[in-house]
Amino acid sequence: DGGITQSPKYLFRKEGQNVTLSCEQNLNHDAMYWYRQDPGQGLRLIYYSQIVNDFQKGDIAEGYSVSREKKESFPLTVTSAQKNPTAFYLCASSTAGQGRSDYGYTFGSGTRLTVV
Amino acid sequence: GQQLNQSPQSMFIQEGEDVSMNCTSSSIFNTWLWYKQDPGEGPVLLIALYKAGELTSNGRLTAQFGITRKDSFLNISASIPSDVGIYFCAGLENAGGTSYGKLTFGQGTILTVHP
């Protein structure tokens, strides 16, 4: 079945370390996104990519980096510059249809990152 | 960036009751989406709205895209225990007529249903 796979489900990081969260999709979606979720808040956009080898900053990109070398993969690196990285991270992908009614925006199951 | 105000923040209801939640925006969106999130999981799309004034149903769920394109509501009728979760509205900024782009999310409504 097609879908988005995020790994790992839980991740613990020591302060000062970089960590990379994996996101893979087999939906043949062109666009991929990373969101951060904190308790009591909506999802906030970190980075997004609409095509391979291209990506744009979202609303809270500081302290994060991404790459899009393959259509299927959009890994997120949480760097040591991110001052408050403990959160639930969600990856999503969407189709690039032209005004299609069957709009698709699918989320993975998330990675919970905790700084210890 | 754009902001969505979603209300209420939380609801505690009895099984069988109807539920209503809404979102308002300071700016216009081309598409409104409603998602449900179970604990520890990613949001799942419930209803998508593409035209101002559109009223769409999905089982016990009904959602409407406001005429001004700055608001939307979601109703759940005859709630059941499995309706428990966080409900998010989201507005989509389309670019150039394409159906993908950045989603802006509301803060979420936490729904608790007592049997």
Structure confidence by residue, pLDDT tens digits, A71-112: 999 999 999 989 899 999 999 998 765 444 445 688 999 999
Residue A14 φ then ψ, to 5°:
-80, 150
Contact residues, chain B to chain A, C-beta under 8 Å: 1, 4, 6, 9, 31, 33, 35, 40-45, 48, 50, 88, 90, 92, 97-100, 102-108
Q: Smallest CA–CA separation between B91 and chain A, in Å?
A: 12
pLDDT by residue (tens digit) across A27-81? Answer: 998 889 999 999 877 889 999 998 899 999 999 999 999 999 999 999 999 999 8
Q: With 60 as the cut, is the pLDDT of residue B97 above it?
A: no
The percentage of chain B sitting over the pLDDT mark of 70, rounded to a whole number, equals 91
Average pLDDT, chain B: 90
Dist. CA A73–CA A67, nearest whole Å:
8
Tokens 């004034």 sit on residue: B53
pLDDT at A104: 61
From the DSSP assignment, how many helices (H) and strands (E) are in chain A?
Answer: 0, 11
Q: With 90 as the cut, is the pLDDT of residue B22 above it?
A: yes
Q: Positive or negative CA dihedral for B9, B83, B44, B26? A: negative
User: What's the token pair of residue B96?
Assistant: 């150039």
* Contact assessment for residue A66 and residue A58, using Cβ atoms and an 8 Å cutoff: no
Please classify residue B79 by burial: count the beta carbons closer than 10 Å to its beta carbon, then call 0-12 exposed, 13-18 middle and 19+ buried. buried
Q: Indicate the pLDDT class of residue B99, thresholds 50, 70 and 90.
A: very low
Residue B102: list chain A partners with CB under 8 A: 33, 45, 48, 58
Please return the burial class of A6, using the count of CB atoms within 10 Å of its CB with bins 0-12, 13-18 and 19+.
buried
pLDDT, mean of residues A17-31: 94
Q: Do A108 and B42 touch (CB under 8 A)?
A: yes
**How sure is the predictor about B103, in pLDDT bands with cuts at 50, 70 and 90?**
confident
- Confidence category of residue B1, pLDDT binned at 50, 70, 90: low
Confidence band (pLDDT; 50, 70, 90) for B101? low
d(CA A43, CA B66): 22
Cβ contact, residue pair B43, A96, below 8 Å: no
A7 confidence band (pLDDT: 50, 70, 90): very high
Q: Which of A66, A82, A48, A20 is nearest to B103 (CA)?
A: A48
pLDDT at A94: 86
